[in-house]
Structure 1
């Protein structure tokens, strides 16, 4: 695996294989929506992600549209489309979030790669050593969704990651000499307006401090 260094980059410490399941149209809505649970990087980590993305774009002459920094996230669990009204859907998803009991853990983005999503290449920063902890939180959220009467989204089968650029070129997996790190101290429920690059956080739940 190639290596990619970022001179002067800080190490950040702050307090999926899965992704959104695809657009849904809750009862009475005309705007396609996605709902999913996610980890979101703290501000300094998000700026580190953007810094790496900008350097790669410049050095590898990558085309495409960078994602807004406020949309950076690691997907945990999606929610399948259904016919219930929007308010009832959000209420059920919040009940699911209330049932999750898990501890905080470090997140590390240690490599860059590209995936093909709906026929276009996307650039991502991928998680490495923390995969078991992310997978454990995903399983707890999926169980809580079922207990709340919702259907968890289908597994995407990809490494947990932060998507940073759409419409670029294929990029081989590149290891980061200095990974981006933060501590996941909460997780969120995201309402995504499909095609609008706009998120609304519909719930936030703290993760307990590890013993």
Structure 2
């Protein structure tokens, strides 16, 4: 079933029961693709006669791993995880539009081509492994399905292939703080992708 959108392991809340901000690693589209993605979202909403709330252009991203840190030191640990990641640059190809979930505010998303999904899933798994080495136990998503969310709607669309897939070269990993209830993302770090050195 599609719709693992909200299955991050966000861990514990901060002291006093207040929900802490969320940290997450992500891939972001380059500026020259943001306008095309926002325009595609508007066209999909219009073509499907949806009443939808669009994701702000500056917040468009593909989430990889997210969690709620137990303390302020969690940001330092997250940055250490980012610094340790060794992963080659790869092509992101968004080839299909679909809705996630069965009810409520349903994300309208773009799904990846098989090759891009393989690269993103591998990076997701590498982040979990590296987090464990840094003393952070994350479960990630029960069924990771990389995607980029364009909007949220109470209604859904049938899955459809895009006539012109959107693609870009993913060249860096980003660490972002999502301020819960404020709809604001703050960049905390970015690390260029690099291939593992050859042996021998």
Task: Classify the TM-score, shorter chain.
Answer: 0.7 to 0.9
Segments of 4+ moved more than 6 angstroms: 16-19
Task: Give the match for residue 43 of structure 2.
Answer: 55
Q: Which of 104, 114, 118 pairs up with 2:99?
A: 114
The CA distance in 2 between the partners of 1:23 and 1:178, in whole Å, is 39
Show CA shifts across 1:113-138 (max 9, x none).
00028832110011113111111111
Describe the superposition over 1:73-107 as per-residue Cα deviations: whole angstroms up to 9, x where unpaired: 1111123x453x22x10001111111111110000
> Is the contact made by 1:23 and 1:194 (CA closer than 8 Å) also made in structure 2?
no
Query: SS at the partner of 1:57?
Result: helix
What do residues 44-84 of structure 1 show as CA deviations (whole Å, max 9, x unaligned)?
212111111111111211102101011111111123x453x
- Cα gap change, 1:183/1:209 in structure 2, threshold over 3 Å: closer, same or farther? farther
Compute the displacement of 1:30 (Å). 4.9
In 2, distance between residues paired with 1:29 and 1:201? 25
C-alpha deviation, 1:21, in angstroms: 3.3
Alignment of 1:23-38 (within 5 A): 25-27=13-15, 30=18, 32-38=20-26
* Structure 2: gaps (5+ residues): none
Question: C-alpha displacement at 1:154, in angstroms?
Answer: 3.0
TM value normalised by structure 2 = 0.86
In 2, Cα distance between equivalents of 1:18 and 1:131: 18
- The question of whether the paired residues in 2 share the 8 Å contact of 1:23 and 1:33 is answered with no
What's the RMSD between the two structures over aligned residues? 2.6
Count residues with an aligned counterpart: 193
Q: Distance in 2 between matches of 1:131 and 1:98?
A: 23
2:177 matches 1:191: yes
